């Protein structure tokens, strides 16, 4: 990974980005492995406004046998950049190369922005004989209206255990809810 000498402004912009972007939903199906995933176009659509509001720009391009992804802070010029080498299943096959580029772009964007995507498309594909599966069907409680309702529920005397029975909680969300409880 490469980065600018300072990433102070970029870090602040990323914090703003994370306060405005929600969980990225799955919008596509892989019928071969019977799994769902968030497509590249859907991810880009979901992050477009939060990136703009935060003053962030993301760009990607093929670079030899790899894909370079750069995250820029528009005002300061600070950046993070990484190149991922893409293994291509079939040599000299433009469709295989295009598929590898799209796949790499999807995971690179998700990684450099630390997006919350419940997407294990590749993991399911690699562990076809796995017997233990995640049976937790609860949705993640994310920032936004659902979190505001959960906080109000706690202020009105509700119990954290009830929220936990309905939602999975990230460490950050759990801390936010605990702050409400502590303030009561």
> What residues in the chain have per-residue pLDDT under 70?
118-135
How buried is residue 35: exposed, middle or buried, by Cβ count under 10 Å (0-12/13-18/19+)?
Answer: middle
User: Cα(58)–Cα(79) distance, rounded to whole angstroms?
Assistant: 10
pLDDT tens sequence across 77-97: 999 999 998 877 777 788 888
The DSSP letter of residue 157 is: T
Per-residue model confidence (pLDDT) at position 132: 45
State the first-to-last Cα distance of the chain, in angstroms, to the nearest integer. 45
Other residues' Cβ atoms within 10 Å of the Cβ of residue 33:
14
The residue count of the chain comes to 184
Per-residue model confidence (pLDDT) at position 87: 79
Which strands form 2-3's sheet, in the order they lie side by side?
A: 2-3, 79-85, 66-73, 56-63
Per-residue model confidence (pLDDT) at position 34: 75
Q: Per residue in 90-99, is it b (16+ CB within 10 Å) or e — as a string?
A: eeeeeeebee
């Amino acid at each position: 990974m490469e980065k600018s000498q300072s990433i102070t402004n970029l870090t602040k912009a990323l914090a703003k980005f994370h306060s405005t972007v929600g969980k990225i939903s799955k919008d596509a199906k892989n019928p071969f492995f019977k799994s769902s995933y968030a497509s590249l176009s859907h991810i880009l659509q979901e992050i477009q406004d939060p990136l703009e509001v935060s003053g962030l720009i993301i760009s990607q391009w093929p670079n030899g046998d790899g894909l370079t992804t750069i995250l820029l802070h528009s005002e300061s010029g600070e950046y993070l950049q990484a190149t991922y080498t893409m293994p291509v299943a079939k040599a000299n096959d433009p469709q295989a190369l295009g598929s590898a580029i799209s796949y790499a772009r999807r995971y690179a964007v998700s990684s450099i922005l630390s997006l919350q995507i419940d997407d294990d498309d590749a993991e399911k594909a690699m562990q076809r004989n796995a017997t233990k599966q995640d049976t937790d069907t609860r949705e993640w409680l994310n920032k936004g209206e659902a979190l505001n309702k959960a906080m109000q529920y706690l202020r009105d005397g509700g119990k954290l255990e009830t929220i936990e029975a309905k939602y999975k909680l990230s460490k950050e969300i759990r801390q936010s809810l605990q702050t409400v409880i502590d303030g009561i």
